[in-house]
Structure 1
């Protein structure tokens, strides 16, 4: 009897795992691989800040799950995961309703022999009053696109105001000095300069007042301190107002309030501080979770409560020597590769291997201006500091490697070439 392997979540880890299993087992009839996601298309999450700024057009760069499934030997099911029955070994998917309230697909159940949860994470608002209601998040392509439209509208308004008031500007406070907040700040500065070429005659860096707020003593706390210092210097040169040890206690309709009662005015307020598991993690039929809603897994990536359930990526609390595997794209990539082997071992009744995370360094991309980071982190040779064009080239290559992992070398390189040609002809920024 063919084993049913169901993967919930088509992010970096989930999609890469589906393609690996489809190629190794799906095509050979050893297992039926099913990928489930609530969206029909995939965007690499580390690039959502580029979707938000307009540097990336998600309608062009998104990947169709169904198209990948056809070529890579797995099945795709569109639907939102809402529940789990461990005894029956089934998951529940919500009904799909169209804009007129008509049911396209009813509520459904999918059976599994092995279930893999790859549902990522969302930004943690820490229960701070007003944040969920007043701030914008970048957890999904839809949220990034919503931000982009608001950002464009704000630029148009300020461009018009500056004809009579040269000091008019858009105020954008960003909470969170991690990679998302830092990269978004740089992308927005670049966007304010780029729109000048497309009819925004009053546009320049001064039309934006970007304030980056970090509760800790330095930016990028997960990276070496010298990288934090370099990034701080670069952002200040771009005109970003960086405030460290600024803890937000309330979000109001037009301002954030810090621990000292100071107000930071905002026309668009962005929250990019901390991560937690999605709320649906609370509906996993009693599986053990961390306080931040991440699923507790053993080193084999199996749930500590159920050997038929695995997790990878941001939603998995996988222990390592010091704490847990960090929620990064490289973690999801490594977990997908490891789990492909462990699922085969599980089907064959063999002992599963423990996952060991390898830190290959971290990079932060400051739009077209610069990039900084480290390579070979965690190896016996230590780490190599990189910046400028070399760092940006390596940063771009991470996305290319994701495309190759999904499509294979030939199709992946063709996509890279197509993207390069497309960028030569399309506008530098999405303008709608």
Structure 2
């Protein structure tokens, strides 16, 4: 009697999920040792740290995005388009929501996908900390759709400026969050202005642009050494970016940002890139333990605390260190530990926090 293949389902095609599916597909899927399935709500993958380049137009999503279907075919795994709406831990199935087209017509009905091992790799979204007005007035850069929206609104502002030759004042753009996304977007905006000027946007120069970068902490790029943070601050200042540190935004409206210090930062376009949280729907999914920012709480083996057959990796997972603090997410690259699919968990924290032993 043939033993059925072990079903490994990975939810989320970001850096961590896609790399894991690729590695397991090569190691197990191609050799018929397991059935590997990747689930994502999008047809293609675009590395999230590049979204600021899509937003400013310096990167062509159509050229640089990776098709999940094509990649799955080439690397020994299967791809399912859809969003997870439920996890049945007793029946060991996940439910994928129905798919509809832009007209609202049903394409694929709600369906269930069985698993033996489930890996949640859903990444993170921006955390607005329930700041009033942010959802309504700021753009987030969590996915290509939002990046395209920013790009279109930016082009509209620059077109209006060029048509009126600046008669209505400068283009004011405010960015909240001094992490990598906020810093890179601030710098890339000036490159976008130069490019658009060369394309014929009359009067559009860096003097036409007012960029304000707002950071609540003591310095931008807080995860990097102070020397690098300081150098980045200086470079942005040279470009003409107004960098505000130790400045907390208390609310946003259609015309700009209100700060705790009482300043009102006028802005035609606002981006919120401060803080992260796991997607809201994960808060109660499957009865799994989550923390205050919706991350799944995991053991050092990356198994969730309430179900040993469900793992979580990357920004959607929270792994506490025995000595205190948390293991940082490492979704950018899946190491060899991911490949040991038949090995029982039992390595030390450093090994298991970097790889899944299924």
SS at match of 1:269: strand
SS at match of 1:249: strand
Structure 1 residue 304: deviation in Å?
Answer: 1.3
SS at match of 1:356: helix
Go from structure 1 to structure 2 and tell me whether the alpha carbon gap of 1:322 and 1:155 turns closer, same or farther (over 3 Å shift): farther
Q: Deviations over 1:93-141 (max 9, x none)?
A: 1100112222110001101000000000001000111111110000011
CA distance in 2, matches of 1:177, 1:128: 17
CA distance in 2, matches of 1:100, 1:123: 28
Structure 1 residue 342: deviation in Å?
Answer: 4.7
Q: Deviations over 1:309-328 (max 9, x none)?
A: 0111111112345522334x
CA distance in 1, matches of 2:341, 2:320: 19
1:127-138 matches, within 5 Å, as 127-138=130-141
CA distance in 2, matches of 1:322, 1:192: 46
Structure 1 residue 355: deviation in Å?
Answer: 4.6
Does the alignment pair 1:264 with 2:265? Answer: yes
The corresponding residue for 1:157 is: 160
Give the conservation status (yes or no) of the 8 Å contact 1:7–1:115.
yes
Does the alignment pair 1:62 with 2:65? Answer: yes
Give the conservation status (yes or no) of the 8 Å contact 2:301–2:345.
no
Q: Deviations over 1:205-247 (max 9, x none)?
A: 1111000001111111111111111111000000000011110
SS at match of 1:155: helix
Q: Deviations over 1:237-292 (max 9, x none)?
A: 00000011110001111110000221101100110000001012124211111111
CA distance in 1, matches of 2:248, 2:116: 46
SS at match of 1:19: helix
- TM-score (structure 2 length as normaliser): 0.94
The corresponding residue for 2:341 is: 343
The corresponding residue for 2:331 is: 332
Structure 1 residue 332: deviation in Å?
Answer: 0.9
The corresponding residue for 2:145 is: 142
1:395-406 matches, within 5 Å, as none
Give the conservation status (yes or no) of the 8 Å contact 2:176–2:215.
yes
SS at match of 1:206: helix
Give the conservation status (yes or no) of the 8 Å contact 1:17–1:339.
no
- Deviation larger for 276-285 or 104-113: 276-285
Go from structure 1 to structure 2 and tell me whether the alpha carbon gap of 1:230 and 1:158 turns closer, same or farther (over 3 Å shift): same
The corresponding residue for 2:355 is: none
The corresponding residue for 1:226 is: 227
Runs of 4+ in structure 1 over 6 Å off: none
Structure 1 residue 353: deviation in Å?
Answer: 2.3
Go from structure 1 to structure 2 and tell me whether the alpha carbon gap of 1:8 and 1:201 turns closer, same or farther (over 3 Å shift): same
CA distance in 1, matches of 2:178, 2:324: 22
Higher helix share: 1
The corresponding residue for 1:211 is: 212
Q: For 1:93, which of 79, 92, 96 is the aligned residue?
A: 96
The corresponding residue for 2:350 is: 356
Q: For 1:11, which of 10, 14, 18 is the aligned residue?
A: 14
1:22-61 matches, within 5 Å, as 22-61=25-64
CA distance in 2, matches of 1:128, 1:357: 38
The corresponding residue for 1:125 is: 128
CA distance in 1, matches of 2:114, 2:32: 17
The corresponding residue for 1:426 is: none
CA distance in 2, matches of 1:309, 1:352: 16
Structure 1 residue 357: deviation in Å?
Answer: 7.5
The corresponding residue for 2:356 is: none
Give the conservation status (yes or no) of the 8 Å contact 2:165–2:202.
no
Specify every segment of 5 or more residues in structure 2 that has no aligned partner in the other structure, as ranges.
353-358
The corresponding residue for 2:276 is: 275
The corresponding residue for 1:303 is: 304
Number of residue pairs aligned between Structure 1 and Structure 2: 348
SS at match of 1:221: coil
Structure 1 residue 356: deviation in Å?
Answer: 1.8
